[in-house]
Structure 1
């Protein structure tokens, strides 16, 4: 296999049919359920712990601003998720979007990372639940395990915990069974725990303000004791508190109305979470000065300091409920991610089984839960926190890039045409072509008196960009002069096949912005001291970052029929991309080394199993399309079946945008120009 054939194979893209009824899963999640899922993932135990860390060690009372800034940045990434989710209403989230936008190998890597991230999250939160509960009962469970099972000698290993955490494993098992029983049942359970958590947060907020001394907000070092740099540092740490909103995207195939429910659910989740985080931090710093905050148990210590000891039990109940809801949502995401890969053939087929009664991916739920239970019992996550956070940021970056790629992909849906999202066919309706008809199995030329479309129906201009709505041909069958000018004006940037150009722009933006952020983060002292080489390097990287955005501004955008669109494309996603890159470069080198090793393992698994078992393999071996040729004099030739073997042929004929090839799609005559793979 040549390099070109290998590139075409690993970059093949998934075709997604927009049929909301053809799913074996149960579409039972309402907008309220989706909102509660978003709140449950974002408003976890961090509201009782993370707020103390931000206020006590990073930003002081100004930590409320840190939570607002971080929430806005996370919301920008969430909007990119929602555009992709409403455009591709299937489960799989980041894996699916990467598959459609960039190709199979990128999707497998993202899907593999998404699985390990959620499996680790289940184990991490389960161990947190166990530790919190054990702390309430004065360490009875932990002490008994060490004394009875380990003969009084705890484990001493960098990757293992002090003892096997069977309580955490039991919680994970119960949640896995709950999720496997049914989506509606797990959604109700999540709603119950989230409601208790929100009530607890509200009670903490009100009680905190009752005992508040608002002079503490500016005592002893003012409202910004760590300066504005402390606010920015706190914002980077706060971002982890908002991670989890992608669970709503995993619910796309089980939402009753994904085009409406998904965006509303995410927005409500962010508004509630941002208000709760900021309000709780204000109440905490108003009760006690930021210098007196106990970082490990901030609210228990704060309520004890003001004489409200009874509130520690309320906080304990809220924390346990929040973590339980978080475990439910994490298990839900693990199961759907494994199910999505197995359904596409990239993982063993049995993992894609859906129970006919519960309509849940039972085998993937139990398999993912089993992995989580094993890891929960043995592994300590202190040394893996940065690696898991890095994986999450890379996933966000890929989804943001996918939203940009899909917006510049020509629309697939034209009247009467069965839409295949992510296919390699660009469909544009022709408004002015000679009328044709099919009689006795052959195509015959007819008059153009009915407006150039079958059945006397006039063509509709589908794309908003003038370069796409201008007719390809004028009334005498020759290329339209305005269209010819518009095509030549954009031809240099890849229109009307913008995939490779957009992909290169995104890659360049990420690389150059990453270099800029590295200089600003690790060489800021040299730059501020006036070191010319560093200043010139930074200026060059910033200039290149701006230059690669020019094609994204000039190229036509598509997607007028998308239910939810990111505003200010491409500026909004690019700013979000820049913010995520800035946060990503803050991680240590060891996290990137761990990610590199894990990526190498992914690639080995993909080339050994995934590439040969993928369901897209058969589709790309035999892709058959029918077309008719419209001659300059208006004659229409016979339809010719064309078979392209993308994996075995390097010399298949390709039609450019100027080719006047057309075929029937419902009641409209459309032209088809084949686009190349975005990632190749």
Structure 2
């Protein structure tokens, strides 16, 4: 009986950690339409990132956190986002499939961790769409002197539940109208919807460029030094501003969700993702410098800094451009947010972990319509009844979790995924082999590598806790605790750099490996610890709902095979694509461009290295 119970537990555990085949995940066949070019992807990523943060968040960071030196906060966040972006680039070129971090986690860590990441991402996209619609509605209402909200209160009434931090006090029909309008554009198909997105994004960038130039025309350099100088809050203010500004870059990772509809994903995705990060960094720096040049930081209106500042100076034409840019940033260009919702649901449903009806793709428009309609309905309900602040708090945890997971996934891919057996040796770099192998013999073993990785992850979370809770108390023991945890991060991270990464054929490889995954893990672990209690509570409650769905449906209907990827833990390695036969490609790709996927080849896994 104990033996039978143990075998059942082992079987149950294997189901939770079963993995998708990496060879199958690299297949280029798809029921979706591979029609997107690098321009579609570039402006898709820009539209995701260049939202209300350009016109609103910059004012808040400048006024409350860093002063005119806020541009340094955005530069810090840009560099941090670059490391995360490199992790996504490596995976996106290896696995050109929808699902983004969910798919990567399924391949590297197994089904249950992937479901937690995917469920969180799907909810974040839906809640993010509702948040965007609420921001758009608020912007329209503010520009109309609150006549819109007054109209709905007069003709539709209010909710008589008293003051609430969660529920809105009236029907937000403007937000619902925006969500329905974006859904209709997405229904038309990927090529049409993202082509429209290009036009809207270009208009937004032109508005922003005009606003930035106008700020330097109507402003004064004296505003940069007024009220305490260029860095009135000091270095600590710049760092605090960075913790707020980091969310302004969120959204670049969503471009990997379009990999399954990209004509040439292994060429275009790295260009689009990294270029969009650079463009957005320049835009945020220009916005910070421009608004602080236009008006002293302590006089800014955090709700609409550019519009209010231009209005006070009588620059009404510039005010109009700022208002138009704000509407585009919070509304029209959020077509990219609506686009990703059905693709994420499609990825989860294709693996059987949520209802398989969401994997149905309409043959005419090549769009997963069930996911689109359901996501639209949920976003509309959230936007109609809930406050913006409540919705925004729920999104932040999911963003950080997916970033943390992709860093861990990449390290597992490059160092652990192709290892052969628990007792095998792992290759060290030449300098480490010469200097460390004799003094640390366990360093060259697979268990040693796993323990080091686990120690690094734990040290990152402990360091985040020390920075957030202990160090601010300004006592000797709190500083000592902070120094110890930081030293643990540096020591374990330094030892992890001693290992030789596995080279995967036909995949973009970021420089200075493992700097990208380790930096991504550290930054996001620290940020996760800093989340407020109620953010954690909402996140855990939502994960609980997802786990009920998974254990009641997903675990029994998953399409993953028992035993996982044939290449995991079996010394699998990639055969060069030049040695394999061309893969049958989607019929819609014929003759679409000179670098189409007919030239791609399908990878296979060999049994041993």
Q: 1:390-432 CA distances to partner (integer Å, 9 max, x unpaired)?
A: 2211111001111111112466xxxxxxxxxxxx999xxxxxx
Displacement, 1:614?
A: 0.2
What's 1:509 paired with?
A: 456
Q: 1:98-147 CA distances to partner (integer Å, 9 max, x unpaired)?
A: 10010000010111000110100000101111121122223232112111
Asked if the contact 2:46/2:280 (under 8 Å) is kept, the reply is: yes
Asked if the contact 1:67/1:277 (under 8 Å) is kept, the reply is: yes
- C-alpha distance in 2 between matches for 1:3 and 1:122: 40
1:621 to 1:163, Cα distance in 2 relative to 1, 3 A: same
Q: Matches of residues 365-514 of structure 1 in structure 2 within 5 Å?
A: 365-409=372-416, 492=442, 498=446, 504-514=451-461
1:517 to 1:655, Cα distance in 2 relative to 1, 3 A: closer
Q: What's the TM-score once normalised by structure 1's chain length?
A: 0.77
Q: Matches of residues 217-232 of structure 1 in structure 2 within 5 Å?
A: 217-232=224-239
Asked if the contact 2:442/2:448 (under 8 Å) is kept, the reply is: no
What's 1:3 paired with?
A: 9
1:299 equivalent in alignment to 2:306: yes
Asked if the contact 2:470/2:479 (under 8 Å) is kept, the reply is: no
Partner secondary structure for residue 307 of structure 1: coil
Asked if the contact 1:73/1:576 (under 8 Å) is kept, the reply is: yes
What's 1:610 paired with?
A: 554
1:201 equivalent in alignment to 2:208: yes
1:275 to 282, 287, 301: 282
What's 1:62 paired with?
A: 69
1:345 to 1:209, Cα distance in 2 relative to 1, 3 A: same
- C-alpha distance in 2 between matches for 1:224 and 1:368: 44
1:322 to 1:383, Cα distance in 2 relative to 1, 3 A: closer
Q: Matches of residues 12-411 of structure 1 in structure 2 within 5 Å?
A: 12-16=18-22, 17=24, 21-150=28-157, 156-409=163-416
More helix by share: 2
Asked if the contact 2:420/2:569 (under 8 Å) is kept, the reply is: no
Q: 1:264-287 CA distances to partner (integer Å, 9 max, x unpaired)?
A: 111221121111111122111112
Q: 1:608-643 CA distances to partner (integer Å, 9 max, x unpaired)?
A: 111001011xx2279999xxxxxxxxxxxxxxxxxx
What's 2:515 paired with?
A: 571
Asked if the contact 1:91/1:336 (under 8 Å) is kept, the reply is: yes
Displacement, 1:18?
A: 5.6
1:549 to 1:295, Cα distance in 2 relative to 1, 3 A: closer
Displacement, 1:239?
A: 0.9
- C-alpha distance in 1 between matches for 2:286 and 2:569: 59
Displacement, 1:575?
A: 2.0
Aligned length: 565
Displacement, 1:505?
A: 3.7
Displacement, 1:550?
A: 6.0
1:504 to 1:612, Cα distance in 2 relative to 1, 3 A: farther
What's 2:597 paired with?
A: none
Asked if the contact 2:134/2:388 (under 8 Å) is kept, the reply is: no
- C-alpha distance in 2 between matches for 1:326 and 1:506: 40
What's 1:414 paired with?
A: none
Displacement, 1:502?
A: 5.2
Partner secondary structure for residue 346 of structure 1: coil
What's 2:467 paired with?
A: 520
Partner secondary structure for residue 75 of structure 1: helix
Query: Which segments of 5 or more consecutive residues in structure 1 lack a partner in the other structure?
Result: 412-423, 427-463, 468-486, 626-653, 658-664, 675-680
Displacement, 1:333?
A: 1.5
Asked if the contact 2:131/2:383 (under 8 Å) is kept, the reply is: yes
Partner secondary structure for residue 579 of structure 1: helix
What's 1:636 paired with?
A: none
Displacement, 1:216?
A: 1.2
2:542 to 574, 581, 598: 598
Displacement, 1:493?
A: 5.5
What's 1:672 paired with?
A: 607
What's 1:628 paired with?
A: none
What's 1:634 paired with?
A: none
Asked if the contact 2:93/2:265 (under 8 Å) is kept, the reply is: yes
Asked if the contact 2:159/2:169 (under 8 Å) is kept, the reply is: no
1:241 to 1:622, Cα distance in 2 relative to 1, 3 A: closer
Asked if the contact 2:128/2:391 (under 8 Å) is kept, the reply is: no
- C-alpha distance in 2 between matches for 1:204 and 1:280: 9
1:10 to 1:502, Cα distance in 2 relative to 1, 3 A: farther
1:671 to 1:343, Cα distance in 2 relative to 1, 3 A: closer
Asked if the contact 2:52/2:329 (under 8 Å) is kept, the reply is: yes
Q: What's the TM-score once normalised by structure 2's chain length?
A: 0.86
More strand by share: 1
What's 2:434 paired with?
A: none
- C-alpha distance in 1 between matches for 2:570 and 2:364: 49
What's 1:586 paired with?
A: 530
Displacement, 1:28?
A: 1.2
- C-alpha distance in 1 between matches for 2:444 and 2:120: 32
What's 2:600 paired with?
A: none
Displacement, 1:554?
A: 3.9
